[in-house]
């Protein structure tokens, strides 16, 4: 429903981006992604000892943040379908934060090889916009959560206000794509604009979440509405 590209092409894009993804992210958000990720973890309401899941974990930044919140007695699983992203996540985990309770698995967000109803909290960073079937992905998150547990999904968003929308378009076209060009990744980053144009707005995401079975769904626009966090709660 969301992407015009088949999943195999999306995987190739993320395999190619993997080596530079974190550096570019830091530059392109001027470090702000760290604040947005901290908010996302907070909204997922992790507690020490929880079992957490980070879907579309990429190189593992959000998963490591979630792991810090459930450590030392909890556990976090990071899952992604890109081998190249997971290889970086594993390497960073072992070399930079081996004490964190993390495990990495290869898997598709649309059919995760995980037991139903076992997770206390779930996060997803810049994943929902990239999956090929958003309703299915939300159903998977609903299936995996324990009753009463929360998920928080961070992603780009198209601002309501025309001024912010123009700024976002200018920023993507004038800053993001040319910077990505220096890394030979023009097409991969131009994909952000087209995926964003197809991505449901906050209220539509909330509607899809209710259709997937969630008891509560709230979309919080952040950064002038250029980003958003969809916070979901499974019924008790
Ligand atoms: C933009 S990156 C975000 C990485 C990380 N969550 C972050 O916030 O930095 C999106 C990730 O989603 C993964 N992805 C996209 N579709 C997927 C799917 N259907 N199943 C699993 N992973 C997927 C990609 O491989 C990529 O690593």
Contact 176, 192 (CB under 8 A): yes
| 128 CB-contact burial (10 Å; exposed 0-12 / middle 13-18 / buried 19+) | buried
Q: What is the mean pLDDT of residues 139-143?
A: 98
Residue 1: pLDDT over 70: no
Cβ neighbours around 119 below 10 Å, total: 24
Domains contained in the chain, number:
1
Residue 140: pLDDT over 70: yes
Edge-to-edge, what's the strand order for the sheet holding 227-233?
102-106, 75-80, 51-55, 119-125, 145-156, 227-233, 216-222
* Closest ligand 1 atom to 11 CA: 25
Give a yes or no: residue 112 inside a domain: yes
pLDDT per residue as tens digits for the range 27-83? 788 889 999 999 999 999 999 999 999 999 999 999 999 999 999 999 999 999 999
Give a yes or no: residue 81 inside a domain: yes
Give a yes or no: residue 2 inside a domain: no
The reported pLDDT for the residue numbered 73 is 97
Helix (H) or strand (E) holding 86: helix 83-96
pTM score, two decimals?
0.93
The reported pLDDT for the residue numbered 17 is 80
The reported pLDDT for the residue numbered 51 is 98
Pocket of ligand 1 (CB under 6 A): 7, 10-11, 14, 56-58, 61-62, 80-82, 85, 108-110, 125-127, 130-131
224 DSSP assignment: G
The reported pLDDT for the residue numbered 10 is 83
Buried b (16+ CB within 10 A) or exposed e, 66-104: bbbbbbeebbbbbbbbbebbbebbbebbeeeeeebbbeb
Q: Structural domain of residue 145, as residue ranges?
A: 7-233
Q: What is the mean pLDDT of the chain?
A: 93
* Closest ligand 1 atom to 109 CA: 20
Compute the distance from residue 127 Cα to the ligand 1 centre, in Å: 5
The reported pLDDT for the residue numbered 20 is 81
Contact 74, 100 (CB under 8 A): no
Give a yes or no: residue 204 inside a domain: yes
Going from the C-alpha of 156 to that of each of 35, 36, 159, 200, 220, the distances in angstroms are 14, 11, 9, 10, 12
Looking at residue 157, which CATH number applies to its domain? 3.40.50.150
Residue 206: pLDDT over 60: yes
pLDDT per residue as tens digits for the range 81-108? 999 999 999 999 999 999 999 999 999 9
| Relative orientation angle of helices 7-17 and 186-198, to the nearest 10 degrees | 130
Contact 70, 57 (CB under 8 A): no
Give a yes or no: residue 1 inside a domain: no
Give a yes or no: residue 160 inside a domain: yes
Residue length of the chain: 236
Give a yes or no: residue 54 inside a domain: yes
pLDDT per residue as tens digits for the range 145-203? 999 999 999 999 999 999 999 999 999 889 888 888 887 788 777 888 889 999 999 99
**Tokens describing residue 78:** 């990071």
| Relative orientation angle of helices 7-17 and 83-96, to the nearest 10 degrees | 40
Compute the distance from residue 172 Cα to the ligand 1 centre, in Å: 19
pLDDT per residue as tens digits for the range 105-134? 999 999 999 999 999 999 999 999 999 999
Give a yes or no: residue 213 inside a domain: yes
């Amino acid at each position: 429903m969301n992407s015009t590209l088949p999943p195999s092409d999306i995987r190739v894009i993320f395999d190619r981006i993997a080596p530079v993804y974190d550096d570019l992210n830091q530059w392109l958000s001027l470090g702000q992604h760290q604040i947005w990720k901290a908010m996302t973890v907070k909204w997922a309401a992790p507690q020490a000892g929880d079992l957490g899941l980070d879907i579309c974990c990429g190189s593992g930044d959000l998963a490591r943040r979630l792991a810090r919140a459930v450590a030392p007695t909890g556990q976090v699983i990071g899952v992604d379908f890109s081998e190249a992203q997971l290889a970086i996540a594993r390497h960073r985990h072992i070399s930079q934060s081996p004490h964190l309770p993390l495990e990495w698995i290869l898997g598709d967000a649309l059919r995760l090889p995980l037991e139903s109803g076992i997770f206390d909290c779930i996060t997803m960073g810049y994943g929902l916009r990239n999956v090929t079937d958003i309703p299915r992905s939300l159903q998977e998150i609903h299936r995996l959560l324990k009753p009463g547990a929360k998920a928080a999904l961070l992603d780009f968003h198209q601002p309501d206000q025309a001024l912010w929308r123009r700024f976002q378009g200018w920023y993507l076209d004038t800053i993001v794509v040319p910077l990505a060009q220096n890394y030979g990744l023009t097409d991969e980053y131009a994909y952000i604009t087209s995926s964003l144009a197809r991505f449901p707005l906050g209220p539509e995401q909330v509607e899809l979440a209710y259709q997937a079975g969630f008891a509560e769904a709230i979309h919080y626009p952040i950064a002038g509405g250029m980003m958003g966090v969809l916070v979901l709660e499974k019924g008790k």
